[in-house]
Structure 1
Amino acid sequence: MMEIHDYTWIFVLGIIAACADAFGIGANDVANSFASSVSSGSLTLAQACIIAVFTEFLGAFLLGSNTAETIKSGIMDVKLFVPQPELMMLGMLCAVAGSAVWVLTACRFGMPVSTTHSIVGAIIGVGIAAFGGDTIKWDYSGVAKIVTSWFVSPVAAGIVTAIIYMPTKIFVLKSVNSLERGIKAIPIYFFITSLIGAFYLIYKGAPGTKAAKMSIGTIVGISFGVAAGVTILAWVLFVPWLRRRVINKENVRWFHIPVIHFVKPRPSAPAPEEIPGGLENGDGTEIQEKITASGKTIESESNNEAEFQEQEKSRVKSLFTMAKDLFLRGVRKDVRNLDNQKLASVHEAAQKFDGDTEYLFSFLQVITACLASFSHGSNDVANAAGPIAAIYDIWRTAKVDPSGKAQVPSWILAMAGAAIDLGLLTYGYHVMRKLGNGVTYLSPSRGFSAELGTSLTVLTASKIGLPVSTTHCITGAITSIGLCNGSWRALNWKMLSWCFLSWIITLPAAGLLAGLLFAYGKNAPTQMI
């Protein structure tokens, strides 16, 4: 009979495995969510990481589910573990470990996979290893629903994205005076974006809060109110700022937006070579010579003790520089693939439009990226937090909750949120490099349409009960953008095949890993002879 605080080693290993799984979520799910923003040039990789660090963590910590289903979608009957709580602890440990191994492997090869499907596949593997295949729900209420999502998600998102992008392309981007049309249309886009974003955030992104209990009518009313307010602000403040920034080429900065009517006319920003006192005026040789000469003077006047202190300082500085370079390695990668010769023909087949007009959509895309990231942190954190929460609950109570749910403490949400951020910062560039421009050429207008189309698809599908995955949706949306060019050559079909293959093998791969781990642990010798 299990006692309270027995099997502490499973609890400790569970924390490590959950952190690894959350790390993989950041490196894969968050990375493919920001891939279109970075690929289009609306955000740099460093900027995307900075935004995600706050939005993902705050979404996970503040709006993370108070209760997380440890057995996703009713895949396996948790009541079977009631007689042996320690077996449930072992099963959740193996499930989150198997999921983590698979997701991290997928990240290494730039495979955008669904982390939700990965943990579900892992739980299926544990269920089969524990009680046989009959314990798994193979019908549409379980596994069949996941298989359906492989096809429903990308197609639905692709259709919605095309509906958003094609009117923009026809009536704005291809217009003779596209810039003026774009500026006039910006408030409309802000209304649509903020309406969908507010509805998505309230309805989908706030589980366990009072907002989640509101009626649809109330949520729609609040969303329209928010959208109207944002549109008015965009018309009064943002549009005048855009005119001065884009048309008049004034050097107004983003922080001038709230006070744009009080900012005096400003000259254009000087070119790099015109900036006085910078290294742009030369190659820096003169400055380097001064530094070298100064160093030699100090060295010649130093005694042995001063030399020793200087060497120690140099060593510390060198170690600090190495640590900084190692930590920032993941945000200094080129993930846009614009100079990739293998993708040159794909990018050339895509239509190009006025750069200033495309610039208008950059700000909208930043908003959609922030909302999607915040909502993602609040929802998908349960993929890593759910299993460890179940382990922790059994460890402190010595029993299994038959409902299959476990309270998720704040410290678990904070831990998972931090691990998600770390995964994106250090390892997310692998997936970003493959997705985005790796599939087709993306510009701000295309990236904005893809992100908005993905958000709208996930929201609508969740409401009507269709099984969709954010990972699959963004891939389908980007594919649709490529097809909207009117040429099949504008798509990297090899990369798309690679993506689809990764979706198919996620379930069995994660299940096999978790099932083997569980079978080994369950049948391991318990006594030494």
Structure 2
Amino acid sequence: MELQTVSKIEKKARKSAGIDLMRLGIALIFIAVVVIYTYAKTGSVPNSLFLVIATVFGAYMAMNIGANDVANNVGPAVGSRALSLAGAIVIAAIFEAAGALIAGADVTNTIRKGIIDLGAFHGDVNVFIWAMMSALLAAALWLNLATAFKAPVSTTHSIVGGVMGAGIAAAGFGIVHWATMGKIAASWVISPVLGGIIAAGFLYAIKKTVVFKEDMASAAKKWVPIYVSIMTWAFVTYLTMKGLKHVWVNITDVLSFLPHTKKPTFGVAAVFGLIAGIIVYFVMAVKLKKEAILNTREGINRYFTVPLIFSAALLSFAHGANDVANAVGPLAAISDAVLNGGIASKSAIPFWVMAIGALGISIGLALYGPRLIKTVGDEITKIDPIRGFCVALAAAITVIVASQLGLPVSSTHIAVGAIFGVGFLREWLHLIEQKEEEIVKEIDDAEKKLKAYELELEDLQQRTDKTKEDYKKIVELIEMIEDLEKTVKRFKKILKKEEKVKYVKRDLFNKIILAWVITVPVAAVLAAMIFFMIKGMML
């Protein structure tokens, strides 16, 4: 029997090793193709070797973004069983790539968020290239490590830490804009708290207006169209603001009646969202009026499934449009420095560089994304379509609110914070469930009986003229008191166990929070070390 068990373990290990080797092979093939293409395109340019190596780092970074960050967009849909893992990967890969290629940043600040002062390089192109290469590789290495430990972290914070560390190594602490770093540190708290509060708020509202009602079917017909239309408003507004800002000028050229601004304003985006929300409300209201809804939680859940699938696709599109710059922004800076021989605060991203980022994210998601998707969607807390709907809605609304208030936020922290918020709300609601109320009542009744028996026993024991019946009664009371004491003890143990039910896994919660806090400093230290290694080899 033991030999059979060992044999099964060995077979499983060989299969796992084979899959891992296949994944690594596909990743290496992608990097090899990137190297060949880059060398063929820029091989005749002086210092093209720097660009080839940087492109490898950029491809590696893009794959790590796909493996880690994209999980936040599709994890709730997978955890709620609205999408299968394979379906989520296909949808996310398509929409991430589409977002990057269609609405990706054609011009981006290569030094993310104004982290460092370019003047501190004093025009030394080589040092600048080394710093950007170090930042890119450090961020990618940290993301790879975080993914291995199943910790969803911010890719933006990773590249920010890399740029900061490499900049300090190259020109000292004075190169860093510390006020900007303070805002980034603030987002560690702001992002998850906002996301958690909004997600928990919507979940509680849905429970109070629909789930906790005796006639859930009638309540659903009234309220589900409202909630879905709110989500529609939020996502159309979010997508307009974040996903279309890089192609807004082209859109306004075609649709001349729109305001000719560099990017869509909140007012325009909100109007688009409102129009879409009203349309969806009436469509849903008519649809639900005609349908017979099951008066169960499962019956209600099915009406949140389709919106959740759409949210996964739209979040992926917006993520691809915005976060692809984390992989190709520094690469574009290096490309500009190599090809033009100067240091620019902004540089156009060639299409081939953007394509590397888009394909890298999709490949990284397909190869290594399932690990984090399962963590985000199923391991932090249990997600059903209603909870997943609240998480996705919170992600969109939090970004909109934060943008208007000028608050720095991380999409990763928002999404995971929203999942935490849903889980902690479940814990709070668990404390008032009927089961615990019944246990408390049983304890109270048992303690009252116990006190009455103890008083009766004390009274009998104090009598001087005890009869034979009194002694029998004393023995009976002692036995009943012992039984009741055991009963009370058992019920209290059950209650204690019930109170310890945690719908958010604490070890995973602590690990993720720790990973968030150390992302910037770890990426910075890694970047500084890599910079000194490159500098030592080149000088």
Calculate the TM-score normalised by the size of structure 1.
0.75
Alignment partner of 1:17 out of 23, 38, 57: 57
**How far apart in 2 are the matches of 1:82 and 1:386?**
21
Higher mean C-alpha displacement, 162-171 vs 215-224: 215-224
Matched, 1:45 2:85: yes
Aligned equivalent of 1:494: 507
Aligned equivalent of 2:341: 398
**How far apart in 2 are the matches of 1:5 and 1:196?**
47
Aligned equivalent of 2:350: 409
- Unaligned regions of 5+ residues in structure 1, if any? 249-352
Residue 210 of structure 1 and its aligned partner are, at CA, apart by 2.4
**How far apart in 1 are the matches of 2:264 and 2:503?**
44
Aligned equivalent of 1:383: 326
**How far apart in 1 are the matches of 2:299 and 2:273?**
30
Q: Which structure carries more helix by proportion?
A: 2
Go from structure 1 to structure 2 and tell me whether the alpha carbon gap of 1:185 and 1:118 turns closer, same or farther (over 3 Å shift): same
Q: Do 1:82 and 1:400's aligned partners in 2 also have CA atoms closer than 8 Å?
A: no
Residue 240 of structure 1 and its aligned partner are, at CA, apart by 6.7
Matched, 1:461 2:431: no
Alignment partner of 1:164 out of 195, 202, 223: 202
1:53-452 map, 5 Å:
53-138=93-178, 141-210=179-248, 213-236=263-286, 238-239=287-288, 243=291, 354-401=297-344, 404-452=345-393
Aligned equivalent of 1:251: none
Aligned equivalent of 1:509: 522
SS in 1 for 2:70: helix
Residue 365 of structure 1 and its aligned partner are, at CA, apart by 1.0
**How far apart in 2 are the matches of 1:149 and 1:522?**
33
**How far apart in 1 are the matches of 2:310 and 2:538?**
55
SS in 2 for 1:400: coil
Deviations 1:479-528 (A, max 9, x none): 111122224722211110000011111112111111111112123354xx
Deviations 1:90-138 (A, max 9, x none): 2111111111111011111111110000000001110111011121122
Q: Do 1:128 and 1:136's aligned partners in 2 also have CA atoms closer than 8 Å?
A: yes
Q: Do 2:242 and 2:318's aligned partners in 1 also have CA atoms closer than 8 Å?
A: yes
**How far apart in 2 are the matches of 1:124 and 1:79?**
14
Q: Do 1:204 and 1:459's aligned partners in 2 also have CA atoms closer than 8 Å?
A: no
Go from structure 1 to structure 2 and tell me whether the alpha carbon gap of 1:184 and 1:378 turns closer, same or farther (over 3 Å shift): same
Aligned equivalent of 2:490: none
**How far apart in 1 are the matches of 2:274 and 2:508?**
39
Higher mean C-alpha displacement, 481-490 vs 426-435: 481-490
Alignment partner of 2:422 out of 481, 487, 495: 481
Residue 225 of structure 1 and its aligned partner are, at CA, apart by 1.5
What percent of counterpart residues are identical?
33
Aligned equivalent of 2:21: none
Deviations 1:58-88 (A, max 9, x none): 1010000111111112110112235211221
Q: Do 2:132 and 2:334's aligned partners in 1 also have CA atoms closer than 8 Å?
A: yes
**How far apart in 2 are the matches of 1:25 and 1:60?**
13
Give the AA of the match of 2:509.
Answer: L
**How far apart in 1 are the matches of 2:538 and 2:351?**
36
Q: Do 1:5 and 1:398's aligned partners in 2 also have CA atoms closer than 8 Å?
A: no
SS in 2 for 1:100: helix
Aligned equivalent of 2:13: none
Go from structure 1 to structure 2 and tell me whether the alpha carbon gap of 1:215 and 1:354 turns closer, same or farther (over 3 Å shift): closer
Give the AA of the match of 1:108.
Answer: A
Give the AA of the match of 2:212.
Answer: K
Deviations 1:131-161 (A, max 9, x none): 11121122xx322112111111111111111
**How far apart in 2 are the matches of 1:75 and 1:32?**
25
Go from structure 1 to structure 2 and tell me whether the alpha carbon gap of 1:71 and 1:430 turns closer, same or farther (over 3 Å shift): same
**How far apart in 1 are the matches of 2:538 and 2:531?**
13
**How far apart in 2 are the matches of 1:58 and 1:419?**
13
Residue 184 of structure 1 and its aligned partner are, at CA, apart by 3.6
Q: Do 2:61 and 2:136's aligned partners in 1 also have CA atoms closer than 8 Å?
A: yes
Q: Do 2:71 and 2:376's aligned partners in 1 also have CA atoms closer than 8 Å?
A: no
Q: Do 2:424 and 2:503's aligned partners in 1 also have CA atoms closer than 8 Å?
A: yes
Q: Do 1:109 and 1:430's aligned partners in 2 also have CA atoms closer than 8 Å?
A: no
**How far apart in 2 are the matches of 1:80 and 1:92?**
14
**How far apart in 1 are the matches of 2:263 and 2:368?**
37
Go from structure 1 to structure 2 and tell me whether the alpha carbon gap of 1:508 and 1:215 turns closer, same or farther (over 3 Å shift): closer
Q: Do 1:75 and 1:124's aligned partners in 2 also have CA atoms closer than 8 Å?
A: yes
SS in 1 for 2:245: coil
Residue 371 of structure 1 and its aligned partner are, at CA, apart by 1.4
Deviations 1:444-501 (A, max 9, x none): 1001101111211012112211111111111211111112222472221111000001
Residue 247 of structure 1 and its aligned partner are, at CA, apart by 5.2
How many residue pairs end up in the alignment? Answer: 413
Give the AA of the match of 2:508.
Answer: M
Residue 231 of structure 1 and its aligned partner are, at CA, apart by 2.6
Residue 216 of structure 1 and its aligned partner are, at CA, apart by 3.2
| Structure with greater contact order relative to length (CA < 8 Å, sep ≥ 6) | 1
Give the AA of the match of 1:146.
Answer: I
SS in 1 for 2:518: helix
**How far apart in 2 are the matches of 1:218 and 1:501?**
39
SS in 1 for 2:347: strand
